[in-house]
Structures are given as C-alpha cells and as structure tokens.
Structure 1
Amino acid sequence: MQAPLSIAFAVNAEGWPDSLEAVADAAIREALKQSEAEIVGVTELSVVLTDDAEQRELNRQWRGFDKSTNVLSFPQIEPFAPVSGLLGDITLARETVEREAEEMGITLEAHFTHLVVHGFLHLLGYDHIEDEDAEEMEGLETEILARLGIADPYADS
C-alpha cells in the first residue's frame, strides 16, 4: 500500500473555476499510479493557480526567462528517487492556459489536466530536453490522459 499523498491547493489569482481543484487531484493521483513512482513516506505537493504576472516573475527568477509560461514545476527531490516529504510545487498561469486551450480548440479542463500531469511528471524527474526523454514523457502523459478520458494532446504534432 502506498503512503499518503497530500495535495495543497492555493489560488493566487481570480478567474480560476472552482472545479479545477478536483480535476487536478484526479490527474495527479492517476499520474502517480501510472508513473510507478515509489512513495515511501507521507508525501506532499502543492498546486498554485496563479496569473501571467506572477508566473512571469517566477519564470524570470528561477529559469531566467522574462515571460509567462503555462506551467512551472519546482521539484524538491532527486529525479526518480523514492518519494517522501515535500515533492515540490506546480504553478499554472490562468491567462496562458485559457489562451492556449482556445487556440487548440479544446476545453480549459482538458488543457489544464494535461498541464497538471506534465508538471507532476517533472516533479518526479521526467523531462523533455532530449528527444528520447521527450518521447517517453509524452507517451506517459498520453496514457495518463487517456485513462482520464482526454484525447492525445500530441496527436497533431
């Protein structure tokens, strides 16, 4: 039996639908199950729903990019290490997420779910810098999203 996973939610910006907390919770729990990450102790992570201004500042401060982005992950463990304690933080920027969903012709909930899964996998150690790693991460994302009833976001790429 896996140790408990606690997910803290913070809404730092107006306009986020209340329903997205439950969506994020389900997405993270499914991603955890499919990733086969080993939870060895009580584990906690946070999901922060913010806006473009705050996300831009976080991106500038921590990554050196002076622009907003849809999702940022701040892992607190070594990649692919057994998970215990603070796993990390995921932040999402409302305006960017909304704009991207509209541009792609998908629901806000579907795009948000994809980004939460993507951010969570980064916390575990997955990345997409090298093509081989990107294929692995995208394949896992697609599998998780399918289990949540969401179409493959990479189908047209």
Structure 2
Amino acid sequence: MKLELDLQLASTAPDVPTEAQFARWAELALAPYRSEAELTIRLVDSNESQQLNGQYRGKDKATNVLSFPFQCPPGLSLPLLGDLVICSQVVAEEANQQGKTAEAHWAHMVIHGCLHLLGFDHIKEDEAEQMEQLEIALLAELGFTNPYLTDAE
C-alpha cells in the first residue's frame, strides 16, 4: 500500500513516535481497504484538542483522537483519506493510567483513528464489536496486547 503521510507536530510530549512508526501503523490499518491513501496526522496540545472536540463533537474537553474524513466531491477519485488529530498529553496520560506502553497506546490511537476514517464506528454495539476486533487483531500483528483488557479481566 502506498501512503503519503503529512505529520504535523503542533505539540511536543515525551515518547512521541517517529514518522516511520506513524506510517507503519496507518499502513497496517489501511492496507486491507486502500491501495493508496493520503493522510494527515496532527499532534496537538490539550487546548487545541478541547477546542476541536467542542466545535465538532459538542464536548468541552480534550480527547485522545479526532478523525476528520475527507468527503470527496461526486465524480472525483482522490486518495485523500482525511485527518487525524491526536492529543499528545491525553495519549500519554491514558497510557500511564491504563498501564500500557506509550508505543502501544499511540499505535492503538492511530489504528482506531484510521478505522474511523474508513467509515468504521462504535456507536452501535455490533459495530463497536467489529471495530474492536479489528483493532485487537491489528495490534496483535504489531506484538501489542488487547487494548480493551483491564487488570480485572
């Protein structure tokens, strides 16, 4: 699969992956569905994440990943998939709280976001189950454990 990745670093945080890692994770998620794709991943701080989450989802808080799919005009065929906006601070905090490595959680956020860009969702229970199973399988290919397991399970 051919991926053109535009990585935008609007925020810095510890343990931010390399561009090669972001590309590897995105390609893994997209390859079964696309032969080529153009994707922007923008790393932001909590303030920008909160502003975008409020504007587009009506939620007044920072969030881990936001997905903005590109809506191609009728009659055009472009490889442009869309944008992922990932909040570095939220990802770092969640990885720590959930007892995961930063790398595993970053990979999960990229894969999760890419699946949203492809049209997968988790609003309905059956759709959530399908999306989670895909994420679990893709993360397993990378050597990461099931991100939905808790210490109690």
Q: CA deviation at 1:98?
A: 0.7
Q: CA deviation at 1:123?
A: 0.3
Name whichever of 12-21 and 131-140 sits farther off. 12-21
Segments of structure 2 that go 5 or more residues without pairing to the other structure are: none
1:96-115 matched pairs, under 5 angstroms: 96-115=90-109
SS in 2 for 1:106: coil
The 1:73/1:16 distance shift into structure 2, 3 A limit, reads: farther
- The equivalent position to 1:43 in structure 2, one of 29, 37, 44, is 37
1:89 aligns with 2:86: no
SS in 1 for 2:78: strand
SS in 1 for 2:39: strand
The 1:112/1:53 distance shift into structure 2, 3 A limit, reads: same
Partner Cα distance (2:78, 2:133) in 1: 25
Query: Counterpart of 1:59 in structure 2: which amino acid?
Result: N
1:3-152 matched pairs, under 5 angstroms: 4-17=2-15, 19-33=17-31, 36-39=32-35, 43-77=37-71, 84-152=78-146
Contact 2:16 2:88 in 1 (8 A): no
Name whichever of 69-78 and 55-64 sits farther off. 69-78
Segments of structure 1 that go 5 or more residues without pairing to the other structure are: none
Q: CA deviation at 1:129?
A: 0.3
Name whichever of 120-129 and 61-70 sits farther off. 61-70
Report the TM-score when normalising by structure 2: 0.88
Query: Counterpart of 1:53 in structure 2: which amino acid?
Result: N
SS in 2 for 1:140: helix
1:77-135 Cα distance to aligned partner (Å, 9 max, x none):
48xxxx73321000111111111000011111110110110000000000000000000
Q: CA deviation at 1:16?
A: 4.9
1:43-62 Cα distance to aligned partner (Å, 9 max, x none):
31100011111101111111
The 1:18/1:110 distance shift into structure 2, 3 A limit, reads: closer
Partner Cα distance (2:101, 2:7) in 1: 21
Q: CA deviation at 1:64?
A: 1.3
